[in-house]
Amino acid sequence: MEKIEKLLQKLEDNPNNVDLLLQIAETYYDKEDFKNSIRFYQRITELDEENEKAYFNLGAIYGKLALEDIQVDEYWEDHTDEEDFFENAIKNYMNCVEINPENKYAYNNLAIIYDALDWQDKAKEMIEKSLEIDPGQDDLRDMLNELEL
């Protein structure tokens, strides 16, 4: 039996088990089944509104879909567009930093998304917040210098 099938079977006995839901969401993500991964991460946030990891990973998925050349029609029959992916990535990363204002990775990813949207001021703001948390991020300093040119 495939790993995902075993996890889904376990979920039947305990449908509100956040750890199990997280394993399922991550397994779908690893298989690049983003639609199902999103569905399970969203379920986690419904059960645990403070689940930083679920919000971060939702932001990562939506960011990946927005930034990479993925055929959107393959995943969403309703023709969700790139703008929605950017918006959802931002929303989920912001939820993440609201829960944990020290999450430099969420700020870094927000900077990348804002830069892709040509929102340089917001990108700079996120980089500066991340550098306040961890000043030793040389690659981020380089990105900040490029944005300031």
d(CA 24, CA 6): 10
User: Does the model's pTM come out above 0.85?
Assistant: yes
Complete domains list, the chain, with CATH: 1-72 (1.25.40.10)
Q: How many other CB atoms are found less than 10 A from the CB of residue 20? A: 18
- pLDDT, tens digit (0-9, with 9 covering 90-100), for 42-91: 999 999 999 999 999 999 999 999 888 555 545 555 546 778 999 999 99
In the chain, the largest separation of any two C-alpha atoms, in whole Å, equals: 57
